[in-house]
Structure 1
Amino acid sequence: MEAIYLIGFMGSGKTTVSQELAKKLEVAVYDTDQEIVKLAGKTINEIFSIDGEEKFRELESKVLYSLPLKDAVVSTGGGIIGSEKNRAFLSGKMNVVFLNAEFSIIMERLKDDDTRPLLSTNNIEAAETLYNSRIPFYREAAFIEIDTSCKSVSIIVNEIIQRMKK
């Protein structure tokens, strides 16, 4: 089985869905953010504050290209599609799933999460602008789009599996 890549804005469900999907498919699961932390030896917040977003994005691309291409589910960071090179890497595959959720639902999911450097200023307007600017890139890179706004993880996982069979 070719690796399945989950893309989408922060809070869209990528990490949770990737774990359940990998379990159901009996394959390994990788989270690009966790792999970046291992590689850098720092938290995401530390990388952003000490090294800057540009260094983080460099590590993110390096991790993306290093992960297995088979028998895996890969949960990516929300900004991975900001790089044209990363979008090209992803868009050539039929196994890229855009998990999309309404912005208001994402904000509700993330309201108590202080691990998101791009939300640390508590600027909802900036977050919504970022969300809206990324939607076309997610759609450009994805083969399948699934709305995760009001669905359980098991329903999302089953929908991914069914739509990939088509």
Structure 2
Amino acid sequence: MKNIVLIGMPGVGKSTIGVILAKQLGYEFVDSDLVIQRRENRLLSEIIECEGVDGFIEIENQVNASLGVEESVIATGGSVVYGDEAMEHLKKTGTIIYLQISYQSLEKRLGNLKGRGVILREGQTLKHIYEERIPLYEMYADYIVNEENLDIEETLQKILEIIRI
């Protein structure tokens, strides 16, 4: 069985849902942000601060493009869709599920963006990156799960229905 790859904006629950999904499937769980931190030996926020947005995206792309896992649920960072090699690799080795929520819901869920390691270019807002990434998430997704007004359990059920087709 292929990997299950969760993509979407920060705060949509990729890691939370990923852990539970992995348990239910008997899969490993991989949080690609943690893999990046381990490989770089520093926090995401430190990488972004030192390397800048483009440097971080390059590191994220390399790490995700080289993930050699099977039967795993992979929770990716929200900016993974900027890396062509990473997305090609993830698509080849897994089923990509985009966890989608409205901008209004996202805004309510997210507190301090900097502390979350969210990459914002100079003058960019959350609204900017939301609008920039949506077409990329949609382009790469094998399936889209709209999480609007769903709790974690309901979102999980939707994903399980999709992968058991």
Flag structure 1 segments of 5+ consecutive residues without an equivalent: none
SS in 1 for 2:125: helix
* Residue 111 (structure 1) shift: 2.0
Deviation per CA, 1:71-112, whole angstroms, max 9, x where unpaired? 100000101101233333344566100000111111111125
Instruction: Please give the alpha-carbon distance, in whole angstroms, between the structure 2 residues aligned to 1:27 and 1:73.
Output: 7
Q: Which runs of 5+ in 2 are unaligned?
A: none
Aligned residues: 164
2:100 match: 100
Identity of aligned residues (%): 25
User: Using the alignment, how far apart are the partners of 1:140 and 1:127 within structure 2?
Assistant: 20
**Equivalent residue, structure 1, for 2:134:** 135
- In the alignment, which residue of structure 1 is the partner of 2:14? 14
Structure 1 position 155 matched with structure 2 position 154: yes
Q: What amino acid does structure 2 have at the position aligned with 1:154? A: E
**Could you tell me the TM-score, scaled by structure 1's length?**
0.88
Aligned twin of 2:56: 56
Q: In 1, Cα distance between the equivalents of 2:90 and 2:66?
A: 13
Query: 1:5-41 deviations in whole A, cap 9, x for unaligned?
Result: 0000111111111011001111110011111110111
> How far apart, in 1, do the equivalents of 2:56 and 2:112 lie?
23
Change (3 A) 1:108 1:68: same
Give me the whole-angstrom Cα distance separating, in 1, the residues matched to 2:139 and 2:119: 24
Counterpart-to-counterpart distance in 1, 2:86 and 2:65: 9
CA distance in 1, matches of 2:112, 2:162: 33
C-alpha change, 1:87 and 1:76, in structure 2 (3 Å) is: same
Question: Does the CA-based 8 Å contact 2:96-2:141 persist in structure 1?
Answer: yes
Structure-2 change in CA distance of 1:114 and 1:75 (3 Å): same
**Counterpart for residue 3 of structure 1:** 3
> Helix, strand or coil: the match of 1:115?
helix
RMSD over aligned Cα atoms:
2.1
